[in-house]
Amino acid sequence: MYKNEVAFELQPKVIDETRQGETLTIERPKTVKSNGKKFYIESYGCQMNFADSEVVASILGGAGFDSTNEFEEADVILLNTCAIRENAETRIRHRLQHFSGIKRRRKGALIGVLGCMAERLKEKFLEQEKLVDIVAGPDAYRSLPGLIEEAGSGQKAVNVLLSREETYAEISPVRLNSNGISAFISIMRGCDNMCSFCVVPFTRGRERSRDHRSIVAEARDLYEKGYREVTLLGQNVDSYRFSEDPQLVGKKLTDAKYDERVINFAKLIELVALISPDLRVRFSTSHPKDMTDDVLHTMAKYPNICKYVHLPVQSGSSRVLELMNRTYDRAWYIERMEAIKRIIPEAAISTDIITGFCTETEEDHQETLSMMELVGYSMAYMFFYSERPGTLAAKKYADDIPEEIKKRRLQEVVDLQLKHSLVHNKRDVGKTFEVLVEGPSHRSDKDLCGRNTQNKMVVFPKVDVKPGTYVQVKVTSCTGGTLKGEVVAP
Ligand code: 5AD
Ligand code: SF4
């Protein structure tokens, strides 16, 4: 667990602590000749990074590499990194030390860093960490085979160019260590929002949407392979926009006169939902300024679009939201939250909160707590502010809240959320939910587990069904993190 963040549930998916450092192995396509080399990849950070590692694995497999989950036998060790908070970077630096003996033990072994920290530090990474041979940013993965070759000939290899077009649309990610039931599909890359605390616009570049035809084709292919749940991923999914009309290439698709010819996010989720009523559709992350009623009505219309919205508030104070450059205020957020409750009464809402942002007063903090009371979030990812070099906040405002105060406020936020999660779950006791069976529960193989539409983990005594089946589960008890129950009908 990072020092400054608390994600206390087994629920997805901003930073899923159970997945940090996860490795990935693939089968090289049969049509591709082996180049005799193996790669090893570890992933950190958000779901986008995990999805990117699957793209990386696919590119390397296509170039003849095999994979291994033993770094000692790898020719190339890759770390797909996160830069969102300082602790995420500290963790990567410690991890790199772990690999320091490998070059002695295995002649010619190469170490590469990918992802957001690579993009942020660029060539500096090579100066700071002598061990590193390859630095590749999130838009440079197609060039990885070339970079590995270059580094193999003794030169350090760097590609941190950001692109305005790259979406890796036609690269089909490999998903060998998934549960075979639920998969992530990246629908857009980058972010144009420039929240003042956030390093993402600098590490992942400009926002661009992936061709909806390749998204739908990928979702359909997953469904045909037995998957029953897809989560559409983007930093800001509500601003998804794509047009297949060649006349609109390079045009600003937000202009209302193009609406007829543009697939927006509401249309996209509908297209994916129509693949099959048995395929659940989820998405992450929504932005309060862009989440339209259109999206909410589409969610309400299709039973297979899950009734769950992750809507990061960050702060409950309009003054702080302005400094954060979130472009909405408290009243706007409350209006959006009320729209969710009006249009999809059964929806669960979760959020992200930052405590101790620059100049945050005790009153601002109280407004965050009161926002939590007002919404009653089912779950939250909570952080204290960590200044990131190069961001607008780092340039414009002093990081002036002492660490003890940031942490004390974070603790208050966490305590309140624990209370709310429990209350939220207690309300579900006695209700019956449709649960998509994922497999044995993490705690006991006598139990199965899966999620309900509100994204709550439900655990129940084993019955004779395969993962990927829908069952009706009546909830009999709960904790703050899980619902417990029993199957009432298959
Ligand atoms: N400090 C603390 N938390 C941050 N986040 C993003 N940048 C920072 C930062 N500099 C949090 C936000 C965002 C989530 C992914 O991470 O809450 O929604
Ligand atoms: Fe960062 Fe804001 Fe973009 Fe989210 S929406 S990635 S917090 S800049």
Count of residues making up the chain: 490
- Among the atoms of ligand 1, which is closest to the Cα of residue 314? 17
pLDDT at 129 over 70: yes
- Among the residue ranges 208-212, 255-259, 332-336, the one predicted with the least confidence is 255-259
3-state DSSP percent of the chain in helix, strand and coil, to 5:
35, 20, 40
Cα–Cα distance for residue pair 484/476, rounded to 1 Å: 6
Rounded to 5°, the CA angle 439-26-281 comes to: 45
**What atom in ligand 1 is closest to the CA of residue 14?**
15
Characterize the bridge pairing of strands 22-23 and 38-43: antiparallel
Task: List pLDDT tens digits, range 2-35.
Answer: 334 443 332 333 456 667 888 877 778 888 899 9
What is the 193 CA–ligand 2 centroid distance (Å)? Answer: 6
Q: What is the DSSP letter of 314?
A: B
Ligand 2 atom nearest to 314, measured from its CA: 7
| Neighbour-count burial for 117-131, b at 16+ CB within 10 Å, e otherwise | bbbbbeeebbeebeb
Which residue's CA is the closest to the ligand 1 atom numbered 7? Answer: 198
The arithmetic mean of pLDDT across residues 226-246, rounded, is 94
Residue of the nearest CA to atom 4 in ligand 2?
235
**CA 216 – CA 178 distance, rounded (Å):** 20
How many whole angstroms separate alpha carbon 113 and alpha carbon 158?
10
Position 245 scores a pLDDT of 84
Question: Is the minimum distance from the CB of 239 to ligand 2 under 6 angstroms?
Answer: no
Are 207 and 241 within 8 A, CB to CB?
Answer: no
Q: How far apart are CA 227 and CA 279, in angstroms?
A: 8
For residue 474, count other CB atoms closer than 10 A to its CB.
Answer: 16
Are 412 and 374 in contact by the 8 Å Cβ rule? The answer is no
What is the pLDDT averaged over residues 338-366? Answer: 98
Give distance in angstroms: CA of 435 to centre of ligand 1: 31
The CA distance from 58 to 447, in Å, is: 34
Ligand nearest to the CA of 82: 1
pLDDT score for 177: 65
Q: Which DSSP string corresponds to 251-291?
A: S-TTSGGGGGG-EEHHHHHHHHHTT-TTSEEEEE---TTT-
**Mean pLDDT, range 283-289, rounded to an integer:** 96
At 6 the pLDDT is: 40
Percent of the chain with pLDDT over 90: 84
Mutate to test the pocket of ligand 2, among 235, 240, 323, 385 (most ligand atoms within 8 A of CB): 235
pLDDT (average), residues 236-262: 84
pLDDT of residue 260: 83
Whether pLDDT at 244 is above 80: yes
Binding pocket residue ranges, ligand 1, CB within 6 Å: 14, 84-85, 197-198, 312, 314, 352, 354, 383, 385-386, 388
Question: Cα separation of 141 and 76, whole Å?
Answer: 14
Q: What is the pLDDT of residues 403-446, one digit of tens each?
A: 999 999 999 999 999 999 999 999 999 999 999 999 999 888 89
Place of tokens 């959020």: 351
Question: Could you tell me the distance, in angstroms and rounded to a whole number, from the CA of residue 263 to the centre of ligand 1?
Answer: 29
pLDDT at 77 exceeding the cut of 50: yes
Distance CA 66, CA 39 (A): 6
Ligand closest in space to the Cα of 358: 1
- 3-state SS assignment for residue 435: strand
DSSP alpha helix (H) spans, 63-142: 86-98, 102-105, 115-121, 124-128
Instruction: Assess whether pLDDT exceeds 80 at residue 349.
Output: yes
Residues 159-215 pLDDT 10s? 999 999 999 999 988 876 678 999 999 999 999 999 999 999 999 999 999 999 999
The number of beta carbons lying within 10 Å of the beta carbon of residue 21 is: 11
Residue 383: name the closest of 3, 1, 5 by CA.
5
Residue whose CA is at the smallest distance from ligand 2 atom 1: 198
Q: Strands, DSSP E only, in 187-255?
A: 188-189, 208-209, 229-233, 241-242
Q: Residue 490: its pLDDT value, please?
A: 63
String of DSSP letters for 172-183: PPP-TTS-SSEE
For residue 204, the ligand 2 atom closest to its alpha carbon is: 6
pLDDT at 176: 60
Determine the Cα–Cα distance for residues 28 and 421; give it in Å rounded to an integer.
Answer: 43
Give the containing element (helix H, strand E) for 319. Answer: helix 318-323
185: helix, coil or strand?
A: strand
